[in-house]
Chains A and B, each alone.
Chain A
């Protein structure tokens, strides 16, 4: 269906080539290819069950893809990482792909600040000499910890949670939890941030704030964002590039304008007019009910 695709310009960050994921006989994703650009917001949309979260799970190492290649072009390290070959935890650690979850996964019994420090685990672990210097209380580690707290403070201010830094994350209101999860992912200093329905359950005002946060991350941090979202007004407003999935296959790819007017997308979301094709007995039944 590549005929409906439109080229999007930019520096490639994450290339997905021929990604296929099968669970037994079920093809969750079939031969999906698209490219997410650096400093752009790429939205992944599609009806329920289209395989969007599965794409994220493949990208972040929770699933091993059945086929395909996932390449991350790391702009700082000037290196290519093949995500499909990496261990789950190495993807955020080495390749710099962070994610949030559809159902929020915070460390509920730990404080907001602690959540952000856990996100900087690998840096701090190195600084604490794998706990040995830290146990001895060497100044080296103190310094790194102070730096980590500074980064955490920065993101707390960005998401407006500075005053709630010592709250247990589980006690935060829902909207705050969503934003904290994004702040936590950003504390891993990622190159690509995958957001799984970040606006689900938020009110319009909170959704607007979320948009601004994404724009900020894109423009100031200069990283690429991948977004799964059902709120179409949000998608159309923030994204630079939209990929539409249906039944695990790409049906459209391009700018929001292009996708909005693509007949294949309209068909997938609204269905086709098929009244005439109803079997006669069903049509009769329906008429009978109406009468």
Chain B
């Protein structure tokens, strides 16, 4: 590559953009170029060439901007040849700490910013639940490589554990939370024992079945779970047993705003939910980051790479897989009990297969094993459909198109770089590609 080519060759870029615009126009002509309407009972076609023109112009400038952006911000092709994983992941990895601090700061400031209202906070909580579930499933799928299509079952176990314990025995959220985690983990082990000798597709099918079995039991065991009626008026958590979020206070606890000496606001409760789920999600994340560097975490990854080799090194595959399954399930249980307390009402409707599919999609789209990838993918997958709500019935089309685009652009997920858990030399591992 000569130096000339690396400069902005405007003419070539314009040509490229022009071709793209022509293609767009050709595609837009049959898609958007005609409008049909009913004229005295006959179907008539009216051309709408302005729509075609708009599409072409948008594509022209879009293509031009993308080209200029690529030429300006990306290293020349020769240099990046070793790193086929793509450059956005690379840039993100390089400035990882800065980016994380910024993200976290934004997340902490958000509920106090003018953007915070009932709707946006609810949405943020919704996203964070999926972030947490994504991080939990990442242990099972991303680290241990066990394809689990029934993850939502553990989420349901957690939610029902809290709902039943709280409504039947009047236990507080802070006692039920660890119990829900333990229940979910035991379900993980119960499911794990018979099925973990299965591999790949077979494991996926059995976990899918397990997820459905749990949902069907919840639906049919009317005396215990309330069946399709669900469980209503699940109590809200107190402020760590110190205060209540109602205006008057309850059960002898003072109201939160009095405890803090601030003005009463109905938003307080939602801000608390927001921070609660954020803390739970961050605990999941820190746990995963930490356990990756421990022998069991390395054994999970080794198991994903080659189970036979693991056995030849004296690693007990059953126990190792079970631990991954149980820990993944435990975090789903925590998320489930949070979900139950936030909703105040749960029914089997909330735990259908589509939930499992979305969580798995978050993990795969984020890049298997990548923690930041899960956040980006949850934003995309959960906020995406919300943002496209304006498009009404085209919403799912846009959503699907977006997913296809991401998978074409980054077939191994948004961020697929794996960071080593331990280093002997202090060099950048990304040099490896260049060295090869």
Take A108-B305, A110-B305 as given contacts and tell me if A89 and B296 are in contact as well, using a CB distance cutoff of 8 Å.
no
Beta-carbon contact of B310 and A118 below 8 Å? yes
Smallest CB-CB separation from A156: which chain B residue?
B424
Smallest CB-CB separation from A187: which chain B residue?
B313
Q: Inside 8 A of A166's CB, which chain B residues have their CB?
A: 420, 423-425, 427, 429, 432
Beta-carbon contact of B295 and A134 below 8 Å? yes
A115 to B424, CA, bound (A): 13
A122 to B317, CA, bound (A): 12
Q: Inside 8 A of A89's CB, which chain B residues have their CB?
A: 310-311, 314-317
The one of A92, A99, A105, A113 in contact with B423, judged by C-beta atoms closer than 8 angstroms, is A113
Q: Inside 8 A of B302's CB, which chain A residues have their CB?
A: 107, 110, 115, 118, 121
User: 1/0 per residue A109-129: CB within 8 Å of B?
Assistant: 111011101111110110010
Smallest CB-CB separation from B369: which chain A residue?
A109
List which A56-111 residues lie within 8 A (CB) of chain B: 60-62, 88-94, 98-99, 101, 105-111
Please report the total number of B residues contacting A with Cβ < 8 Å: 34
B299 on the A face (CB < 8 A): yes
Beta-carbon contact of A109 and B305 below 8 Å? yes
List which B294-309 residues lie within 8 A (CB) of chain A: 294-296, 298-299, 301-302, 305-306, 308-309
A101 to B304, CA, bound (A): 18
A88 to B298, CA, bound (A): 20
User: 1/0 per residue A165-195: CB within 8 Å of B?
Assistant: 1111001000000000000110010000000
Interface centre among A62, A108, A110, A120 (most CB of B within 10 A): A110
A108 to B302, CA, bound (A): 9
Beta-carbon contact of A121 and B314 below 8 Å? yes
A9 on the B face (CB < 8 A): no
Beta-carbon contact of A125 and B296 below 8 Å? yes
Classify chain A's interface size.
35 or more
A149 on the B face (CB < 8 A): yes
A153 to B422, CA, bound (A): 13
Chain A proximity of B175: nearest CB distance (Å): 22
A208 to B121, CA, bound (A): 68
Beta-carbon contact of B314 and A122 below 8 Å? yes
B290 on the A face (CB < 8 A): yes
A94 to B315, CA, bound (A): 11
The one of A106, A135, A165, A168 in contact with B294, judged by C-beta atoms closer than 8 angstroms, is A135
Smallest CB-CB separation from B290: which chain A residue?
A135
Beta-carbon contact of A106 and B306 below 8 Å? yes
Beta-carbon contact of A131 and B305 below 8 Å? no
The one of A99, A110, A117, A162 in contact with B295, judged by C-beta atoms closer than 8 angstroms, is A117
Q: Inside 8 A of A153's CB, which chain B residues have their CB?
A: 424
Take A131-B295, A165-B425, A166-B429 as given contacts and tell me if A121 and B315 are in contact as well, using a CB distance cutoff of 8 Å.
yes
Beta-carbon contact of B418 and A105 below 8 Å? no
Beta-carbon contact of A106 and B301 below 8 Å? no
User: 1/0 per residue B122-157: CB within 8 Å of A?
Assistant: 000000000000000000000000000000000000
Smallest CB-CB separation from B435: which chain A residue?
A167
The one of A113, A135, A184 in contact with B313, judged by C-beta atoms closer than 8 angstroms, is A184
Q: Inside 8 A of A118's CB, which chain B residues have their CB?
A: 295, 298-299, 302, 310, 313, 315
Q: Inside 8 A of A188's CB, which chain B residues have their CB?
A: 313-314
B436 on the A face (CB < 8 A): yes
Q: Inside 8 A of A60's CB, which chain B residues have their CB?
A: 312
Beta-carbon contact of A167 and B432 below 8 Å? yes
Beta-carbon contact of B295 and A125 below 8 Å? yes
Q: Inside 8 A of B311's CB, which chain A residues have their CB?
A: 61-62, 88-89
Q: Inside 8 A of B429's CB, which chain A residues have their CB?
A: 111, 166
Smallest CB-CB separation from B433: which chain A residue?
A171
Q: Inside 8 A of A130's CB, which chain B residues have their CB?
A: 296
The one of B306, B315, B436 in contact with A105, judged by C-beta atoms closer than 8 angstroms, is B306
Q: Inside 8 A of B298's CB, which chain A residues have their CB?
A: 110, 114, 117-118, 121
Chain A proximity of B305: nearest CB distance (Å): 4
The one of B299, B301, B314, B420 in contact with A92, judged by C-beta atoms closer than 8 angstroms, is B314
Beta-carbon contact of B312 and A131 below 8 Å? no
Beta-carbon contact of A109 and B294 below 8 Å? no
A99 to B308, CA, bound (A): 11
Chain A proximity of B283: nearest CB distance (Å): 12
B72 on the A face (CB < 8 A): no
B421 on the A face (CB < 8 A): yes
List which B279-337 residues lie within 8 A (CB) of chain A: 287, 290-291, 294-296, 298-299, 301-302, 305-306, 308-317, 323
A91 to B421, CA, bound (A): 28
Query: Can you list 8 contacts pairing A with B, beta carbon distance less than 8 Å?
Result: A89-B315, A106-B309, A114-B422, A115-B302, A118-B313, A121-B295, A135-B287, A171-B436
- On A, residues with C-beta under 8 Å from B are 60-62, 88-94, 98-99, 101, 105-111, 113-115, 117-122, 124-125, 128, 130-131, 134-135, 141, 149, 153, 156, 162-163, 165-168, 171, 184-185, 188
A117-B422, A121-B295 given. 4 additional CB < 8 A pairs?
A107-B302, A128-B295, A168-B432, A185-B312
Closest 3 CB pairs of A and B: A93-B314, A92-B314, A107-B305
